[in-house]
Each structure stands twice: as structure tokens, then as C-alpha cells.
Amino acid sequence: METILMLTAVEADGALPKAAQEALGAARDLAGSLAGSTLAVGLWGADVKPAADAIAGCGAAKVYGAVSPDLAPARYATDAAAAEALAKAAGATIVVAPGTSRMARVMPGVSHRLGGKADTHVTAIEAGPDGVAATRWAYRQRIETVVSRTARPWILLLDPGCRAPAAAVPGSATVEAVAVALPPEAKRTVVTGVQAPPAEKQTIRPDAKLLFVAGAGWTKKQAGGAPRLPEAERLILDFLAKTGASLGSSKSLTDQAGEGQAVLGFLSHLNQIGQTGATPRHPKGLATCCHGEEPHTVGWRFITQRRAINLDPNCGWARGKADVLYVADVFEVMAKVNALL
């Protein structure tokens, strides 16, 4: 008999993050598959009532809340204290949490405090006759594993975008207050804000339907014998503006900036996808001028529909991994795509 706790910090406005709604869906499904188990929700932040009300009808036996202005910022020491207190108050044996940057920062440390175990980057949670099992990837999305544990509490951080969010069933929730001790040492760090490029220059859009991947080929010598960087920049930015796509890049392209080579000015390591970058989840992906074998292609492991444009019909990025490979000059094709869009 498990006590399953969906645990998360709420957003600054008290709302529940989308990734937490997905985690709630996973926790609720898990509770439904394990006879005799109980579902609970644990929330912390400056005000948790809006989030609690938004999921009042989710089937949780109890909603626990830790509320304080000191719990608003995403700060390890205070977040860990809140998560620990909530998990203990709920008597959780399984904790399902969203794999956001905030929760990923803190939950492994919390597992240590609780004497339990944590598995991160979980992509699926299932319950069967042999108990609960979690799917996660090792070696940066190259080997798939399914893991089970007897240790409790077992903390599972579900990667965002792996499942549908729980349907909102709003109402008026009763939140059981949980006290969190926050000594002055817990506030040695002050979160001062968020640094981001201006909205019109932001090229990373996690909620976009399309991921556009730019490879190093964009910066290489073209048919005319010289690189066409200004044209490449214009084509890519024009495409992003017209489609609202998110921009990913291969490692080789972002590395060129560090090596002092000519690069696309709007790219940074934050755009990098693949084995040493991000593995974003978008419904569609269009890879352009990308080359490489398996280690380089893990960046679009979780892209549902994949197409590629490349001059090499045997490109390892695409063969067997993309649905369609267009063998063509990307400059020519993208100019015409932009015109059509």
C-alpha cells in the first residue's frame, strides 16, 4: 500500500506549472493502478491556494501546503526544507515530482534527507503485478532502462512533456498547513531575478510545436566557394519568426563560437541539443545541415515527427532516424519555404 505524493513548488502567481499537472496525472494514474494506495498533493510557495483550488477535484485525499514569502524563490536551501517537510507530513512512500529545473535542483538532496532514493529524468511510470517501475535513459538518451526499487520513499522526477497533463478539476481545496523551519543559514542565497534575451531575440521556445535544428553545414563553404553567414542568419531568423519554432543547434556549431570561428551570432550553448545539450520534446523537428551518427542524434530522440534537409543522402543524422530526408541545398529550400510561409 503506497502513499503517493505529487510534490511541487508553485509559480510566482500561485499557479501550478504545466509540468506539475503532468506529474499529477502520472501520480493519479499510479494511485489508480495500485489497490489501497492513497494520492496526496504537496505544494509550497508564497501562496498555494490558487494551485490547490485548480486541482481540487483531482482525487487527492489530502493537499498539504507550506506557505511563506521565503518559499517563493527557487533556492535550494528553502526548497529542500519545504519538500522534506511536506514529504514527511504526507508520510509519502512514492513522490512524483515534475522534472523542472527547480525540482531537479533539489529533489536528489531531499531523497538523502528522507533516507530514500531518487530517480530523475523519468519518462514513464507504470504499476504492474511486480510493483512500480520507472523508465529512464542512461548514457544521455542512448540506453533505455526500466527500474524498480524497494527503498522508500522513492522520488521520481518526471521529465516535462512525457505525458498529458491531468485535466483541471477546479474547486475549493482544503489545504493542510505544514510548518517549515527556515533558519537564517537557509537564506544565504538571494535570488535576484531572471536573465533572458529580449523576447524578439529569444530563440528557445519549449512550448513550440516545431524544433528547427541548425547544423554546422550552415557556416561551411557553399556552392559559390565561400560561406554565406549573413544569408544563413537571415534565413533562419526569418523562418523562426514566421513559424514560432524553437531553435536547436548541434554541438559542433556552438563550439565554433568558443573556438573563435565564424558562427551564427544568435546561437549559444543554450541552443545546443544532443549528448551534451538538451533533449527537447516537440511534436515536429526539422534538421538542417546536421551531420553525425548516433551520439549526435540523441538531441531529437523525443521529437515525434522528424524531417531533415541535407546534401548527403547517407547522412547519419537522418537515415533511419528521420521520417523524410530531403537531399537538397538548404539555402535554396529555406528561402522558398520562408516565401511560402
Partner 1 sequence: MATSYAIVVCGGIVPDPLQTLEPVMTPGGPGLKNEMMLPAVLDPWAACALYEAAALAKKAPGSKVWLASLGPKAKLQQVMMTVAQKVPFELVALDGSSGGFTDAAETAAALAEAIQAVPGLDRNRMLLFGGWESASRGAGATLQILGELLGIRDQFQGVDAVEPQADGSLRVLERVEGGRHQVSVCQGPPAVFGWATGSLAEPPNNPQVGMANMRAVMPALQRAKPAKIGSGGAVFRKVALPQQQRQTRIVKDQTADQIAKEIAEWIRQD
Per CB under 8 A, which of residues 216..275 are in contact with partner 1? 243, 255, 258-259, 269-272, 275
- Shortest spacing between CB 25 and partner 1, in angstroms: 19
Residues 134, 291: Cα–Cα separation, whole Å: 32
- Shortest spacing between CB 176 and partner 1, in angstroms: 26
- Establish if 137 lies at the interface with partner 1 (CB under 8 A): yes
- Cα dihedral 141, 197, 47, 63, rounded to 10, equals -10
- Shortest spacing between CB 201 and partner 1, in angstroms: 10
What is the DSSP track for 88-110? Answer: HHHT-SEEEEE--HHHHHHHHHH
- Shortest spacing between CB 174 and partner 1, in angstroms: 31
Cell of 125: 511510470
Closer Cβ to partner 1, 58 or 71, answer by number: 71
- DSSP letter for 27, please: H
DSSP 3-state of 154: strand
Closer Cβ to partner 1, 174 or 188, answer by number: 188
- Establish if 68 lies at the interface with partner 1 (CB under 8 A): no
- Shortest spacing between CB 214 and partner 1, in angstroms: 15
Of positions 196, 221, 224, 225, contacts partner 1 by CB under 8 A = 196
- Establish if 1 lies at the interface with partner 1 (CB under 8 A): no
For partner 1, which stretch binds (CB under 8 A), given 6-14, 111-119, 171-179, 217-225? 111-119
DSSP 3-state of 300: helix
Closer Cβ to partner 1, 42 or 161, answer by number: 161
Asked if 326 and 309 touch (Cβ cutoff 8 Å), the reply is yes
Closer Cβ to partner 1, 46 or 270, answer by number: 270
Closer Cβ to partner 1, 178 or 286, answer by number: 286
Residues 131, 265: Cα–Cα separation, whole Å: 51
- Establish if 304 lies at the interface with partner 1 (CB under 8 A): no
Question: One-letter amino acid identity for 244?
Answer: G
Closer Cβ to partner 1, 48 or 211, answer by number: 211
- Establish if 182 lies at the interface with partner 1 (CB under 8 A): no
Of positions 49, 88, 234, 307, contacts partner 1 by CB under 8 A = 307
Number of residues that bind partner 1 (CB under 8 A): 97
- Shortest spacing between CB 306 and partner 1, in angstroms: 7
- CA pseudo-torsion sign 160, 165, 166, 170: positive
Of positions 168, 189, 223, 304, contacts partner 1 by CB under 8 A = 189
What is the DSSP track for 44-84? Answer: EES--HHHHHHTTTS--SEEEEEE-GGGSS--HHHHHHHHH
Give the CA distances from residue 202 to residues 194, 274, 294, in Å, rounded to whole numbers and listed in that order: 13, 20, 29
Asked if 315 and 162 touch (Cβ cutoff 8 Å), the reply is no
Of positions 62, 149, 163, 234, contacts partner 1 by CB under 8 A = 149
CB atoms inside a 10 Å sphere around CB 239: 21
Asked if 290 and 259 touch (Cβ cutoff 8 Å), the reply is no
For partner 1, which stretch binds (CB under 8 A), given 31-39, 141-149, 165-173, 219-227? 141-149
